[in-house]
Homo-oligomer: A and B are copies of this chain.
Amino acid sequence: MSKKQNKRQIILDEAAKLFKLKGFGGTSMRDLAGEVGMEAASMYNHIKSKDEILEHLCFHVSDTYIAQLAQVEQMRGSNGDKLKELLRLHIHLMLEDGAAVSVANNDWKYLTSDKLELFKAARKQYEKGFAMLIENGIAEGEFQPVNASVALFTILSAVRWVELWYRPGRGVTAQELEQDIMTILLNGLAKKQ
């Protein structure tokens, strides 16, 4: 039983890496099997289907994001503090589970119909909670009076490059990264005068 869990996890991890590299459609079960060190057919002892792999990866990410949102919502502090913390957690998942996040960002559209709807709903829920923090911040005069949706997507997109770009040995630490991104997004690139 523990062995089974283990092999399944290896398949899922390897799938995340391959899907990130070559896309869901561009990755065949034989490719994946080669990476795992097994025949394609053998993997079906551990997983139900190729679609199930995709579902697992996508919902792992969306579930985590929603849990993080719930966690931040019951924090106390300013909207700026909450936004900062949610963003920090958001970036943190990217650094920790980059391949899965990449799949959830790029290959979610290949989910089959009912799962696709579920995923889109989850994403919308997350975005809604995120937007609420921004709207509250604007209403309370804490943030600049921009369109909240525009701010939301600008921020969420702004951090998406992290999973494509960040590698530990790149001369930028995770702390610097977080700090600089926060600076740019909250304080802006231009110097205050």
**What is A's interface to B at a CB cutoff of 8 Å?**
21-26, 80, 106, 109-110, 134, 137, 141-144, 146-147, 149-151, 153-161, 165, 172, 176-177, 180-181, 183-192
- Give the residues in chain B near A137, CB-CB below 8 Å: 189
Q: Shortest distance in angstroms between A69's beta carbon and chain B's nearest beta carbon?
A: 18
Q: Shortest distance in angstroms between A131's beta carbon and chain B's nearest beta carbon?
A: 13
Known pairs A23-B23, A146-B189, A184-B185. 15 more at Cβ < 8 A? A26-B109, A144-B187, A144-B189, A144-B191, A146-B184, A147-B172, A147-B176, A149-B172, A150-B176, A155-B158, A157-B157, A157-B161, A158-B158, A185-B189, A186-B189
Closest 7 CB pairs of A and B: A25-B25, A188-B188, A158-B158, A157-B161, A187-B188, A153-B161, A150-B180
- Give the residues in chain B near A109, CB-CB below 8 Å: 21-23, 26
Which residue in chain B gives the minimum CB-CB distance to A178?
B150
Alpha-carbon distance between A160 and B142 when the two chains are bound, in angstroms:
26
Q: Shortest distance in angstroms between A141's beta carbon and chain B's nearest beta carbon?
A: 7
Partner of A26, one of B110, B147, B156, B183: B110
Q: Shortest distance in angstroms between A150's beta carbon and chain B's nearest beta carbon?
A: 4
- Give the residues in chain B near A80, CB-CB below 8 Å: 190
- Give the residues in chain B near A159, CB-CB below 8 Å: 154, 157
Partner of A189, one of B151, B156, B180, B181: B151
Alpha-carbon distance between A147 and B180 when the two chains are bound, in angstroms:
7
Structural contact, B186 and A190, CB atoms closer than 8 A: yes
Structural contact, A142 and B184, CB atoms closer than 8 A: no
For this complex, 10 residue pairs linking A to B, each with C-beta atoms less than 8 Å apart, are: A80-B190, A142-B191, A143-B189, A144-B190, A146-B184, A150-B177, A154-B161, A155-B158, A157-B160, A187-B190
Alpha-carbon distance between A149 and B165 when the two chains are bound, in angstroms:
10
